[in-house]
């Protein structure tokens, strides 16, 4: 099993960055052109924007890729046989002239050979696919997590992701850091998926298949990424008006960078005289009823993203816009502009209040 895994690992290392276009990879999979040129691994800031199941970069995603190719190949074979016979029959037995209108072709009834030919092979093919699929599902679902495995709780909200690291007492939102796994230091990440309201779906195609987040239920899945970078994903279940902007960013860090990130997230921001006015306004305008900021008295809400290290995140509004000054200002003025239908109301803040809160939030590194 381990050897098997390592073979897969080296395969993925070799065949990365294929970057097939949507149509291109479908056609390529059909005609079996699955080889690809080696491409050097990219750095941490690489954004893996094409959500491509044919370019898996994580253990379970690669298993799914392999079975997809098998199923596509079998289906392509069936397509060629059926399409070929159909084309042959259309051409060979086409109407050649008026004499064909009076003559009927020979009628065949109850041929045991023909009946068996179109019954037995399809049954065998379906049984084979069922067995292979069941085996793959079992392999992924019952994969035993090693002691070293990282564990993350992800809670779906309308329309953002709460992310908790129970082993480290770290809470963040929308941008999920996980460690890179390699053959010398295997660190898979187990994800416990829950929902605070309606059904959501978690899918980062290059890392694993889709998993639902169901209210009052715990689903689990795991990933074991082979390459650093920023992986994009989406909520896959229509959960309301801003379903399409419930974006996922999984940031795969080298283990040392991951540790550094954890350390920085564990820090509680101390009192800062420079942003004291912003802290006051944050509490005075009830922001703390929904948002938590560690170390700020009165800011312990759980309805909205934890903002303790808000400025360390690259996006705001669950990926709806880059987390820069202009967008944050727009968000504070009226969140409904950038994300119409999000659950944060327009707080009717004055420009002065916005300036103060903006300075405070931009300082929460």
**In the complex, which residues of this chain contact ligand CUA (CB under 6 A)?**
156, 159, 200, 235, 237-239, 243, 246
By C-alpha distance, which of 181, 191, 170 is closest to 233? 191
Whichever of 154 and 358 has its CB closer to ligand CUA, that residue is: 154
CA-CA distance, 20 to 211, in Å (whole number)? 25
Taking the complex as a whole, the smallest distance from the CB of residue 244 to ligand CUA amounts, in Å, to: 8
* 227 three-class SS: coil
Whichever of 200 and 249 has its CB closer to ligand CUA, that residue is: 200
Is 151 in contact with 166 (CB distance < 8 Å)?
yes
Q: What is the CA radius of gyration of the chain?
A: 27
Whichever of 207 and 237 has its CB closer to ligand CUA, that residue is: 237
What are the beta bridge partners of residue 160? 157
Taking the complex as a whole, the smallest distance from the CB of residue 161 to ligand CUA amounts, in Å, to: 9
Residue 194, φ and ψ in degrees, nearest 5: -135, 170
Whichever of 174 and 281 has its CB closer to ligand CUA, that residue is: 174
Whichever of 9 and 202 has its CB closer to ligand CUA, that residue is: 202
Taking the complex as a whole, the smallest distance from the CB of residue 177 to ligand CUA amounts, in Å, to: 21
* 175 three-class SS: strand
Describe the crossing of helices 59-92 and 2-14 by its angle, rounded to 10 degrees. Answer: 70
By C-alpha distance, which of 218, 212, 227, 232 is closest to 181? 227
Taking the complex as a whole, the smallest distance from the CB of residue 217 to ligand CUA amounts, in Å, to: 15
CB atoms within 10 A of CB 61: 26
Whichever of 187 and 321 has its CB closer to ligand CUA, that residue is: 321
* Token reading at 151: 């564990």
* Token reading at 2: 């381990």
CA-CA distance, 12 to 4, in Å (whole number)? 13
Taking the complex as a whole, the smallest distance from the CB of residue 201 to ligand CUA amounts, in Å, to: 7
Whichever of 164 and 243 has its CB closer to ligand CUA, that residue is: 243
Taking the complex as a whole, the smallest distance from the CB of residue 216 to ligand CUA amounts, in Å, to: 16
By C-alpha distance, which of 11, 17, 12 is closest to 49? 17
Taking the complex as a whole, the smallest distance from the CB of residue 189 to ligand CUA amounts, in Å, to: 21
Is 155 in contact with 213 (CB distance < 8 Å)?
yes
Taking the complex as a whole, the smallest distance from the CB of residue 239 to ligand CUA amounts, in Å, to: 3
Whichever of 208 and 281 has its CB closer to ligand CUA, that residue is: 208
CA-CA distance, 347 to 133, in Å (whole number)? 51
């Amino acid at each position: 099993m381990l050897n098997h895994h390592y073979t897969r690992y080296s395969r993925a290392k070799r065949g990365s960055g294929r970057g097939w276009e949507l149509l291109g990879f479908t056609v390529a999979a059909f005609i079996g052109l699955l080889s690809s040129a080696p491409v050097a691994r990219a750095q941490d800031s690489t954004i893996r924007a094409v959500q491509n199941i044919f370019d898996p970069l994580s253990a379970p995603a690669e298993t799914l890729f392999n079975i997809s190719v098998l199923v596509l190949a079998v289906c392509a074979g069936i397509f060629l046989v059926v399409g070929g016979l159909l084309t042959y029959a259309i051409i060979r037995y086409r109407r050649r002239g008026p004499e064909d209108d009076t003559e009927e072709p020979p009628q065949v009834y109850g041929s045991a050979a023909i009946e068996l030919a179109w019954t037995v092979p399809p049954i065998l093919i379906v049984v084979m696919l069922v067995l292979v699929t069941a085996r793959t599902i079992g392999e992924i679902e019952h994969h035993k997590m090693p002691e070293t495995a990282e564990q993350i709780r992800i809670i779906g909200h309308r329309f953002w992701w709460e992310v908790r690291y129970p082993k480290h007492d770290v809470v963040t939102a929308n941008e999920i850091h996980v460690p890179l796994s390699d053959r010398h230091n295997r660190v898979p990440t187990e994800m416990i998926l829950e929902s605070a309201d309606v059904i959501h779906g978690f899918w980062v195609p290059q890392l694993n298949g889709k998993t639902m987040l169901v209210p009052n239920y715990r689903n689990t899945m795991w990933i074991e990424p082979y390459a650093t970078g920023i992986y994009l994903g989406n909520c896959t279940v229509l959960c309301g008006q801003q379903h399409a902007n419930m974006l996922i960013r999984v940031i795969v860090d080298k283990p040392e960078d991951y540790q550094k990130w954890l350390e920085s997230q564990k820090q509680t921001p101390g009192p800062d005289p420079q942003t004291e006015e912003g802290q006051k306004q944050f509490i005075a305008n009830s922001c703390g009823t929904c948002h938590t900021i560690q170390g700020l008295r009165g800011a312990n809400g759980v309805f909205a993203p934890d903002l303790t290290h808000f400025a360390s995140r690259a996006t705001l509004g669950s990926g709806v816009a880059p987390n820069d000054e202009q967008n944050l200002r727009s968000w504070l003025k009226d969140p409904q502009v950038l994300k119409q239908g999000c659950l944060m109301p327009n707080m009717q803040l004055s420009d002065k209040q916005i300036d103060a809160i903006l300075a405070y939030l931009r300082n929460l590194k």
